Amino acid sequence: MKIKNICCIGAGYVGGPTMAVIAQKCPHINVTVVDINEDRIAAWNDENLDNLPVFEPGLDSIVKEARGRNLFFSTEVDKAIDNSEIIFISVNTPTKTYGKGKGMAADLKYIELCARQIARVSKQDKIVVEKSTLPVRTAAAIKSILNNTGHHVHFEILSNPEFLAEGTAVNDLLMPDRVLIGGESTPKGKEALKALTDIYANWVPREKILTTNVWSSELSKLTANAFLAQRVSSINAMSEICEKTGADINEVAKAIGMDSRIGPKFLKASVGFGGSCFQKDILNLVYIAKSYGLDEVADYWEQVILINEHQKQRFSDLIVSTLYNTVSGKKITFLGWAFKKDTNDTRESAAIKVADSLLSEQAKISVYDPKVVAKQIYSDLDYLKTRSSEENRNLLQVHKDPYEACNQSHSVAILTEWDEFVSYDWQRIYDNMQKPAFVFDGRGILNKTELERIGFVYYKIGSGA
Ligand code: NAD
Ligand code: UDX
């Protein structure tokens, strides 16, 4: 099967970068990324590459190379579906906020809308690729919709979950550990698997392209995220024991990470994991387990979330108790708001919950983040509905300069591990703060000896020394 045109529904953190890389590596294929969000599409088409809606190191130069050549961003969803032999679905699959499964199950309404639209528009056979993260067996629902509505053309459904991490998306896409494609073992299923495999094989070694059945592929994505998040919760649980016992979590992580069975990656203690995926996908897994009556399995995975909530809460509790049990009217500076460095994404960022707790204690918070804009920070807080948006604006200020954010502060809290925080002039920050000047390093990135020499009272997550 010769593929000339593909499209992707959903121009978000996954759809945008993934399709940009496919377009760069496959100049012989036209790639159209469509979205109903007009502002987002306009931003993808912005002449000024600083205005792309997703910040990812290296993404701007790829978009510059391919956009207008064989990479297009558009709001004309029907046209793109009609023109394409392969359609990726990369829309959001958030946790349900209503009805059965509220707060746990994945909300599949956007997926179903896409499936109905594809069925309505398609007049020729199509390959439909699940790129979004989905509950296991979603392909059966998509298939049923596609086969029972529309023009009765043939649809082949593949599962091709995305494993990129934000902040390193471009590298992850260019050099993936593996590409996973699930499909049926019928002749048409094999043909579809080959068509998608051939696209990736333009730059990914074939031995790294793994093909499985559809259900294994869907479940592998949830499993990978559950294992990764479980590692963070495990190291964070140990960080609390370290603080009580005089051990140091970085030393413990190094010691266990040298065991080749454990490995050194993903063992960095933190103020808690964030991001749009871990919590949502584990909750989804817990819901699936419960729906099959597997309560022990559900409880096991739910604990990963509970430890994460605890880690965020204990960080804000520590700030309050260290600042003499009251932060009312005190200025606390947050360095970082994004859920990790090198991204402008704030979804489920630990900073949001920590800020919300401290604001409830009437603290005054100043925030500096190199990539997150004030509008996003206020919208994250307003979404919680803990207090009015006017109160949020009165209590929390967003600064464009880190030194200004720290001026006259009682304490600085590191919420994101941005590299630039390490090289700040900490003497200058100290000189302009209230004394005693406290630093709460929720990412363990600063140099304790250096900060204590300057005069800071320094707390590092996971360090009891
Ligand atoms: P996102 O919210 O950034 O983007 C989704 C886009 O889909 C939005 O722009 C939205 O307007 C658009 N959309 C929704 N319904 C639509 C419709 N009917 N027609 C056209 N456009 C529509 O989400 P994301 O972070 O890119 O995640 C997408 C999927 O990929 C999710 O299932 C997520 O779990 C998964 N995923 C995300 C990451 C990540 O790091 N963000 C990594 C791997 C997998
Ligand atoms: C994650 C998965 O890594 C990726 O494969 C999947 O496709 C999407 O979900 P992402 O959420 O973008 O990616 O970033 P990730 O690097 O996994 O970090 C998630 C959170 O865990 C961040 O808040 C990060 O700061 C935190 N984390 C990660 C730690 O606290 N310690 C670590 O050692 C690693």
Per-residue pLDDT tens digits for 385-437: 999 999 999 999 999 999 999 999 999 999 999 999 999 999 999 999 999 99
Amino acid letter, residue 99: G
Provide the H-helix boundaries in 246-361: 249-257, 278-291, 295-322, 350-360
Confidence of residue 464 (pLDDT cuts 50, 70, 90): confident
Is the model's pLDDT at 149 over the cut of 90? no
Is the model's pLDDT at 463 over the cut of 90? yes
Confidence of residue 2 (pLDDT cuts 50, 70, 90): confident
| Nearest 10 degrees: Cα torsion 261, 262, 264, 265 | 110
Distance from residue 98's CA to the centre of ligand 1 (Å): 19
Confidence of residue 450 (pLDDT cuts 50, 70, 90): very high
| Angle subtended by helix axes 278-291 and 295-322, to nearest 10 | 150
Task: Output the ligand 1 site: residues, CB below 6 A.
Answer: 9-15, 35-37, 40, 77, 90-93, 110, 113-114, 132-133, 162, 164, 166, 276-277
Write the CB contacts of 424 (distance below 8 Å, at least 6 apart in sequence).
Answer: 402, 403
Residues 18 and 131: their CA atoms lie apart, in Å, by: 10
Distance from residue 325's CA to the centre of ligand 1 (Å): 42
Percent of the chain with pLDDT over 90: 98
Structure tokens at 267: 């063992």
* pLDDT (average), residues 311-335: 98
Short-list 446, 398, 270, 396, CA closest to 438: 446
Residues 83 and 61: their CA atoms lie apart, in Å, by: 27
Burial zone of 318 (CB within 10 Å; 0-12 exposed, 13-18 middle, 19+ buried): middle
What residue owns the CA closest to ligand 2's atom 15?
165
Distance from residue 340's CA to the centre of ligand 2 (Å): 8
Ligand 2 pocket test: pick from 90, 162, 173, 232 the residue with the most ligand atoms within 8 Å of its Cβ.
232
Give pLDDT tens digits for 53-100: 999 999 999 999 999 999 999 999 999 999 999 999 999 999 999 999
The mean predicted confidence, pLDDT, of the chain is 97
Place of tokens 């499985």: 212
CA-angle at 112, arms to 109 and 117, nearest 5°:
125
Query: pTM for the whole thing?
Result: 0.96
Confidence of residue 384 (pLDDT cuts 50, 70, 90): very high
Percent of the chain with pLDDT over 70: 100
Ligand 2 pocket test: pick from 18, 218, 228, 252 the residue with the most ligand atoms within 8 Å of its Cβ.
228
Is the model's pLDDT at 442 over the cut of 90? yes
Helix (H) or strand (E) holding 26: none
Does 26 participate in catalysis according to the annotation? no
Give pLDDT tens digits for 231-279: 999 999 999 999 999 999 999 999 999 999 999 999 999 999 999 999 9
Q: How far is CA 253 from the centre of its chain?
A: 23
| Angle subtended by helix axes 214-245 and 278-291, to nearest 10 | 120
Q: Which domains does the chain have, with CATH numbers?
A: 5-212 (3.40.50.720), 224-465 (3.40.50.720)
Distances (CA, A) of 101 to 106, 286, 297: 8, 11, 17
E runs forming strands in 325-426: 331-335, 364-368, 396-398, 411-414
- Residue 208 φ then ψ, to 5°: -95, 0
Q: Please report, in range form, the residues annotated as the binding site for NAD(+).
A: 10-15, 35, 40, 91-95, 132-133, 166, 277-280, 347
Burial zone of 225 (CB within 10 Å; 0-12 exposed, 13-18 middle, 19+ buried): buried
Short-list 149, 123, 284, CA closest to 218: 284
- Residue 332 φ then ψ, to 5°: -120, 125
Amino acid letter, residue 74: S
